[in-house]
Structure 1
Amino acid sequence: MIKKQTYTLEEAKRKLEHFCAYQERCHKEVSQKLQDMHMIPKAMDIIIVHLIEHNFLNEERFAKAFVRGKFNIKKWGKRRLILELRKKDIAKANINTAINEINDEIYYKTLDELAEKRLSTLNESNRLKKKKKLIDYLLYRGWESHLVYEKANALIK
């Protein structure tokens, strides 16, 4: 039989402080970590309050960092970013704040670069199939459909 590791309240607090200091976390990730540590609900509440009071846990800061990272590195569009933040139970106000931090000029430039880069890798002779592949790729990445169709129609005539 495997013996479960048990933690005192102070040990769990320290462990979660390190967990949150290493990388921005959302409330859902912290709750899951505490459940994995087999903490009782009352202890979980105490630890989460402690983390919020000492600024280890800040959902708005998490949302901004998440959006910045996924947009800059993975080139996700706003729809995908919003969807992923909703999955993490982030408040709508925090999602909107984070999304509004994306500069529109950079957003459209990123879409242009992404579409052109993808188009250069498509080895499809049929114009319609090529357009569909480009559109599917951009929609999967979470770009708004009206922007995707405009871009595809502009690039593939």
Structure 2
Amino acid sequence: MAFNSQRRERPDPADLDLADGTITRVAQQKKDLDRASIYIDDAFAFGLAVDLVIEAGLRKGVVLTAQQQRDLLVRQEVFAAKASALAGLSQRARTTDEVRQSLLRKGFTEAVVEDTVAAVERIGLVDDEAYAKAFVRDRFNGRGYGPARLRQDLMRKGVGRSVIDAALDELTEAEDLGEEARAQAAKKWRSLASEADPRKRQKKTLDFLVRRGFGFDTARAAVEAAAAGEASDEWGLS
């Protein structure tokens, strides 16, 4: 997994120097009503999500070993990571790797991150296959991107090769790539009407289509069609 220089540091519960003790106070935090402060032997020990406090049955008088405290803090990290992942997914759909990298940047340990990713996958909030298919359809129909550009963009998002292949196969079965390339070539060709050199005009249009992800042969045929279409218009043959 790639190292990210912008990664934040979060304390690892395994590295904390803790001692056995008795809970002497549990208090809801004023600045965050979803969290509670846990006091052990009259000293603040750590903060936990209120739901976790209730789930674990934490209250005054409960004795916690050092290992039990570490376990609670690990559960808190998982709870926080899931909350962070859900917040991101509520804004837009994301790939598995986008969720993973976001959590790693926030400093969660790899173990916590993988547990969180598995959890959101289990409940269907992250599905790379569905994401890739929707991404391909939306970018092709909405922006006119060709297969090569779509593949490149999905690879940047960490989608696996076989998943990308399946999504692109579905696109080529359902859509006429040549028709879309010809439509874009005609529009680009018209925008270059001030270009006096026809060879430069053809090259600029061809380069435009290739950048958008269309194969060279498809792009070349589209450029030829655009040039031929303009000639037909000029001679009144359309």
1:100-115 pair list within 5 angstroms: 100-102=169-171, 103-105=174-176, 107-115=177-185
The DSSP-based 3-state class of the residue aligned with 1:90 is: coil
How far has the Cα of 1:4 moved from its partner?
A: 6.8
2:213 paired residue among 139, 142, 147: 142
- Say if 2:202 is the partner of 1:131: yes
Identify the residue that residue 119 of structure 1 maps to in structure 2.
189
1:74 paired residue among 143, 157, 160: 143
- CA RMSD across the alignment: 2.0
Distance across 2 between alignment mates of 1:91 and 1:5: 29
Aligned residue type for 2:191: T
Distance across 2 between alignment mates of 1:64 and 1:18: 23
Between structures 1 and 2, the one with greater helix share: 1
Contact 2:81–2:112 (8 Å) recurs in 1? no
- Please give the TM-score of this superposition, normalised by the length of structure 2: 0.59
Aligned residue type for 2:107: H
How far has the Cα of 1:151 moved from its partner?
A: 1.5
Kindly provide the CA deviation profile for residues 62-102 of structure 1, in whole angstroms up to 9, marking residues without a partner as x: 11121122112221101111122223332222112211222
Q: Which has the larger radius of gyration?
A: 2
Distance across 2 between alignment mates of 1:155 and 1:8: 58
Aligned residue type for 1:72: N
Higher relative contact order (CA 8 A, sep 6+): 1
Tell me how many residue pairs correspond in the alignment: 154
1:35-114 pair list within 5 angstroms: 35-102=104-171, 103-105=174-176, 107-114=177-184
Residue 113 to residue 32, structure 1, CA distance change in 2 (3 Å): same
How far has the Cα of 1:42 moved from its partner?
A: 1.0
Distance across 2 between alignment mates of 1:9 and 1:87: 26
Identify the residue that residue 95 of structure 2 maps to in structure 1.
26
Contact 1:24–1:65 (8 Å) recurs in 2? no
Q: Which moved more, 1:135-144 or 1:63-72?
A: 63-72
Residue 112 to residue 154, structure 1, CA distance change in 2 (3 Å): closer
Between structures 1 and 2, the one with greater strand share: 2
- Between the aligned residues of both structures, percent identity stands at 23
Consecutive unaligned residues of structure 1, counting only runs of 5 or more, are none
- Say if 2:224 is the partner of 1:153: yes
Contact 1:63–1:95 (8 Å) recurs in 2? yes
Distance across 2 between alignment mates of 1:10 and 1:73: 37
